[in-house]
């Protein structure tokens, strides 16, 4: 190796694996963060193509593109891939890249486990996708896989689905252990808990949520497995069990899960808004407490997904009040973001545009959530497209916009280059407009009574479905464009200074951690 290369190609000096093997053996938080983010992008593209199939079938009434069974497997796999393959791994990727830099740690606390957490994912994702090619077809019971659809009436491939869910949960739990161990043990001197950047706080709390609920999900799928193969009747009324219990177990996992997907996005937005408003975050401590309260409340509201199963009125009232209470800490956050911008010197670089869209559109999704939390109203919305509209505002213009904002915000730090300003802004406006064309009409469809998860519908729903599909195709196309912007940024562009977004005087504290050297191969200086 020439000395010229060696001078700035640090990780080659130690005889560490190069080329493809670098990625297989890596224990470096930046490499692993990159792997997570690219894996997430691939899943996002596959899950997105399934969404395109859904919107193509729903473009007009009548059956034209796919058969109903395949349509059901599309809605199921779209949900599963986006939740477990795209959003969650993207958040873990951001955590890997940023948490060590933001607390002054040289790497994650458990670098070898970090490698394992990631490398489980491609196998779990492949196994999940492979079910679609199995005899009897893949899972077609919705991402919530309610029993008995997923037990008595499901194809054999469901056992592979169960195993894939187990592996995905394994990966999440190990990732969370790593985040907690890193944040609690590896902060630089002076970096007290209440000085940590908000992104680190939200991820610390998210990690506890994950460790609490992933085993519950594992329990749910294990009970499914034994019901299906070993003669138990957890969810079968015929054997003394109860299918409604499946819903309780699932949503005890599932509700905290939605906060797992949104809390890190809250963290991202709390980093970006102060930077481009040129003011410190308003109400730092209240942000931390609000995040913790949201996390706590997320455990005690699960049955708001089940208002129509026939609960006692006292139960309905309890879950209604508990749910509506979450609006309080959430409003504290939105207030703090607004107060941070109040009389700030705001500029609207691409990360700020995505963060602002997040504040407006996530809040809109929050409001429809409030509507659904009111039990008597939810009787009307239940299982309609209103629900679909709601959770896509929360997860697309919420979680996904948060991830995209983070990518634009931190790309200069990661690659050394700013993303192309004009193309980035085009990507933003294209996406912000099309996403509303896609999801806003679904509110109308739902309120008019269109059920969710159906491949065909009555004539009166035709117009808004066509509008929604056009928005869907446009939004999908916009994200292919995002791919080119990222690749272009990696390959070069306007050089970023040490102080990224320098004009904005980035208010967040990060260190320059060393170039990748941790791998399974021991570096020579330690031998
Ligand atoms: Cu919920």
Task: Answer yes or no: 503 catalytic.
Answer: no
Average pLDDT of every residue of the chain: 92
Structure-token pair, residue 219: 């329990």
Distance 402 CA to ligand 1 centre (A): 20
Rounded to whole angstroms, what are the CA distances from 214 to 89, 93, 171, 210?
Answer: 14, 18, 10, 6
Active-site residue flag, 40: no
Residue 14 catalytic?
no
Average pLDDT over residues 270-292: 93
| Domain contains 91 | yes
Annotated active-site residue in 75, 172, 340, 489? 172
139: three-class secondary structure by DSSP = coil
Pick from 6-20, 114-128, 189-203, 284-298: least confident: 6-20
Give 7's pLDDT tier (boundaries 50, 70, 90): very low
**What is the C-alpha to C-alpha distance for residues 368 and 381, in angstroms, rounded to an integer?**
10
Residue 462 has pLDDT above 80, yes or no: yes
Is 36 among the residues known to form the active site?
no
29 is catalytic: no
Instruction: Determine, yes or no, domain membership for 111.
Output: yes
Catalytic residue, chosen from 97, 259, 409, 501, is: 259
Q: What is the pLDDT at residue 497? A: 75
Among this protein's residues, is 166 annotated catalytic?
A: no
Distance 254 CA to ligand 1 centre (A): 7
CATH number of the domain encompassing residue 153: 1.20.210.10
In a domain, 1, yes or no: no
Is 108 within a domain? yes
Q: What is the pLDDT of residue 313?
A: 96
* Overall domain count for the chain: 1
For residues 431 and 151, give the distance between their C-alpha atoms in angstroms, rounded to a whole number: 39
Residue 190 — pLDDT band, cuts 50, 70, 90?
confident
Q: Is 13 inside any structural domain? A: no
The larger pLDDT score, comparing residue 504 to residue 270, is at 270
Tell me, yes or no, if 443 is annotated catalytic: no
Active-site pick, 270, 291, 323, 469: 270
* CA 135 to ligand 1 centroid distance, Å: 34
85 within a domain of the structure (yes/no): yes
Question: What is the rounded distance in angstroms from the CA atom of residue 342 to the CA atom of residue 339?
Answer: 5
Is residue 22 in a domain?
A: no
pLDDT at 520: 55
pLDDT at 513: 53
The verdict on residue 95 lying in a domain is yes
Residue-wise pLDDT tens digits, 30-43: 999 999 999 999 99
Tell how far the Cα of 302 is from the centroid of ligand 1, in angstroms. 5
The radius of gyration of the chain from alpha carbons, rounded to an integer in Å, stands at 23
Average pLDDT, integer, range 318-342: 96
The predicted structure's pLDDT at residue 9:
46
Q: Is 427 a residue of the active site?
A: no
* Residue ranges making up the domain that contains 390: 30-236+244-509
Residue 343 region, left (φ>0) first, then alpha (ψ -120 to 50), else beta?
left
């Amino acid at each position: 190796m020439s000395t010229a290369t060696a001078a700035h190609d640090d990780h080659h000096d130690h005889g560490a694996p190069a080329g493809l093997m670098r990625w297989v053996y890596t224990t470096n938080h930046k490499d692993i963060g990159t792997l997570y983010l690219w894996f997430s992008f691939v899943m996002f593209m596959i899950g997105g193509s399934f969404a395109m199939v859904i919107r193509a079938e729903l473009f007009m009434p009548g059956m034209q593109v796919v058969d109903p069974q395949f349509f059901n497997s599309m809605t199921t796999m779209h949900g599963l891939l986006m939740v477990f393959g795209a959003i969650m791994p993207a958040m873990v990727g951001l955590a890997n890249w940023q948490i060590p830099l933001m607390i002054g740690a040289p790497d994650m606390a458990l670098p070898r486990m970090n490698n394992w957490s990631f490398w489980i994912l491609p196998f779990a994702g492949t196994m999940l996708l492979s079910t679609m090619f199995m005899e009897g077809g893949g899972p077609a019971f919705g991402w919530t896989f309610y029993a008995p659809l997923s037990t008595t009436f499901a194809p054999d491939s469901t056992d592979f689905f169960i195993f894939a869910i187990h592996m995905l949960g394994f990966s999440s739990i190990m990732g969370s252990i790593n985040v907690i161990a890193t944040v609690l043990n590896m902060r630089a001197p002076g970096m007290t808990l209440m000085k940590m950047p908000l992104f680190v706080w939200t991820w610390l709390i998210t990690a506890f949520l994950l460790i609490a609920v992933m085993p519950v999900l594992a329990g749910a799928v294990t009970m499914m497995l034994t019901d299906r193969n070993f003669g138990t009747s957890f969810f079968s009324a015929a054997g003394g069990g109860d299918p409604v219990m499946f819903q309780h177990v699932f949503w005890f996992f599932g509700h905290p899960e939605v906060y797992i997907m949104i809390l890190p996005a809250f963290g991202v937005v709390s980093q970006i808004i102060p930077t481009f408003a040129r003011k410190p975050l308003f109400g730092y401590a209240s942000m931390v407490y609000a995040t913790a309260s949201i996390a706590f409340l997320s455990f005690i509201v699960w049955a708001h997904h089940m208002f129509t199963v026939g609960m006692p009125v006292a139960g309905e009232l309890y879950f209604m009040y508990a749910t509506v209470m979450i609006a309080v800490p959430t409003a504290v956050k939105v207030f703090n973001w607004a107060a941070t911008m109040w009389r700030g010197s705001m500029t609207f670089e691409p990360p700020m545009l995505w963060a602002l869209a997040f504040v407006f559109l996530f809040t809109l999704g929050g409001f429809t959530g409030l509507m659904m939390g009111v039990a008597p109203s939810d009787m009307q919305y239940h299982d309609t497209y209103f629900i679909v509209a709601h959770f896509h505002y929360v997860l697309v213009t919420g979680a996904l916009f948060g991830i995209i904002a983070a990518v634009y915000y931190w790309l200069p730090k990661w690659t050394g280059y700013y993303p192309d300003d004009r193309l980035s802004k085009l990507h933003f406006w294209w996406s912000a407009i099309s996403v509303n064309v896609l999801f806003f009409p679904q509110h109308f469809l739902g309120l008019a009574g269109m059920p969710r998860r159906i491949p065909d519908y009555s004539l009166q729903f035709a117009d808004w479905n066509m509008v929604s599909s056009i928005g869907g195709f446009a939004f999908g196309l916009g994200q292919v464009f995002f791919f080119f912007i990222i690749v272009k940024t990696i390959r070069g562009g306007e050089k970023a200074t040490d102080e990224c977004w320098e004009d904005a005087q980035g208010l967040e504290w990060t260190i320059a951690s060393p170039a990748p050297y941790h791998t399974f191969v021991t570096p020579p200086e330690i031998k």
